[in-house]
Each structure stands twice: as C-alpha cells, then as structure tokens.
C-alpha cells in the first residue's frame, strides 16, 4: 500500500472532530487503516476506518480499540488526541473539576498508551504521538488546570520515550497553540465581543493567525511515520511562534 503510512494501523482518539478528524483524513490518504475512538462514534467505518465508541477514561475503551487494531494485524501508531477544554482561575478550581479534567486529559491518555504500548513492545515497533498544548510549557491565565493535565502528559511522553527507546517504540508530543476548530470557535463566540476577543488573542501569535487543524495533523503524521524514526521524546510546537516569543 502506498503513502507515508502505507500498511500501518493507527488508533486515533477523539477522531471525529477538529484535529483528530483532520488526522484521520490525512492518515487514510497516506495509506493507513485507522481505528477511530470517540465517545459518540456513530459511523460504521469502511475499508480504511472503523469506529470504537467509548470514553477513554474507561479501561475497556483502550482494550476495545487495541482489539479492533489487532483485527488488522496490530497497532503501529497511537494518536492520543481526546481531551476536554477547561478554563478557570486557580482559586476557582474545585477538586471535582481537577478529577474530571485529569481523568480525561491525562488518565485516559495513560490508559491508551499502556494498552497500545504493550502490543507495540511485543512487536518491537510503534510510534505514539500525544497531543499536548502550548499551555504545557507556558503560563496562560485561567488555563492552569488544563495546563497541569497537559504538562503531566508531556512528562509521561518523555519518560515513556526513554523507557521504550531501546525496544523499538517511539513516544513524542505535538503541542498545538490556538487552532481553528469548532471548540475554539465556540469559545470565541461565547465572549461578550467575539470579534474584538478574536482579534486580541490572534495578536498574541507571532505569525498573526491561528493554526488550521490540517497543519497540526501534518506534524502528527511526521512523528507517526518512518521519516522521524530517530526522533523520540520531543515536543513539537505547532503554535505560530507563541512559545518562542
């Protein structure tokens, strides 16, 4: 099978919208078969895709996704993209909020990484790409809890990369900045003056624009494929220069 991921089997969580959806489309274009994991996965799939419905916080979801990949020969690539957004000041963050966000944005990724990683280690091959955030590296007001979860995922990325480096399994992260997804659009539209708010947040990006989901997906593709086979343990910023400023 031709393409940069020809013959490979991938699992993409949160694969029905935004960055995840763009990643699935690109992976299929590049020859992969993709198991799409989402809480409300209603599609039936086709010869290149299949759906697993479930919450990544439930261990059974990870096991079901890996089992689905095994039907195609086993998982070669995992993209941990499923997440929930959250904004609140540090003082207004409740213990209940912490558990919800950490469960989805960190624990869910850990469970998927453990299940897929175990199979990759058996075969001495595989690439895991964790989708973190610019907030894992820089402070952004009201994003402390979200940042803490993404920072934990970045730490997990680096540790797993070192633990598995000699066993043929690579673990990397992409760290998107503001990306033109429906989630971000809803956030902007919920402000008192959406146009002024969008202009202000875009002005903080050195390139002067948000990322497109397809641009983040391209970075994920690079880290997933063999072009990056000597790269492990990195965090690749896709933020228009935000974290360099």
Could you list the active site residues?
146
Q: What are phi and psi of 152, to 5 degrees?
A: -65, -40
How far is C-alpha 111 from the geometric centre of its chain's CA atoms? 14
- Alpha helix (H) residue ranges in the chain: 18-29, 59-70, 95-102, 108-123, 144-164, 182-189, 194-203, 213-224
Q: Which two tokens stand for residue 139?
A: 């402070």
Number of H helices, E strands in the chain: 8, 7
Q: Which two tokens stand for residue 49?
A: 């895709």
d(CA 129, CA 219): 10
How many CA atoms lie within 13 Å of 173's alpha carbon, on the beta-carbon side? 26
Q: What are phi and psi of 54, to 5 degrees?
A: 165, 160
Q: Any idea what the Cα angle at residue 22 is, between residues 84 and 82, rounded to 5°? A: 20
């Amino acid at each position: 099978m031709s393409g940069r991921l020809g013959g490979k089997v991938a699992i993409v969580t949160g694969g029905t919208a935004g960055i995840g959806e763009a990643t699935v489309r690109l992976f299929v274009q590049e020859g992969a078969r993709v198991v799409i994991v989402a809480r409300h996965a209603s599609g039936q799939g086709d010869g290149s895709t299949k759906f697993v419905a479930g919450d990544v916080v439930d261990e059974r979801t990870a096991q079901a996704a890996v089992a689905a990949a095994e039907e195609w020969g086993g998982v070669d690539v995992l993209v941990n993209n499923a997440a929930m957004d959250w904004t609140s000041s540090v003082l207004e963050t409740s213990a209940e909020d912490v558990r919800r966000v950490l469960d989805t944005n960190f624990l869910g990724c850990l469970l998927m990484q453990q299940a897929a990683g175990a199979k990759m280690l058996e075969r001495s091959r595989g690439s895991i790409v964790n989708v973190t955030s610019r907030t894992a590296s820089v402070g952004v007001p009201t994003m402390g809890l979200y940042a803490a979860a993404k920072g934990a995922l970045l730490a997990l990325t680096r540790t797993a990369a070192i633990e598995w480096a000699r066993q043929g399994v690579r673990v990397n992260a992409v760290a998107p900045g503001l990306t033109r997804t429906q989630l971000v659009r809803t956030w902007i539209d919920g402000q008192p003056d959406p146009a002024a708010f969008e202009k202000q947040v875009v002005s903080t990006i050195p390139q002067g624009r948000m990322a497109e989901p397809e641009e983040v997906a391209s970075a994920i593709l690079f880290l997933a494929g063999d072009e990056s086979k000597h790269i492990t343990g990195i965090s690749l910023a896709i933020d228009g220069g935000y974290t360099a400023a």
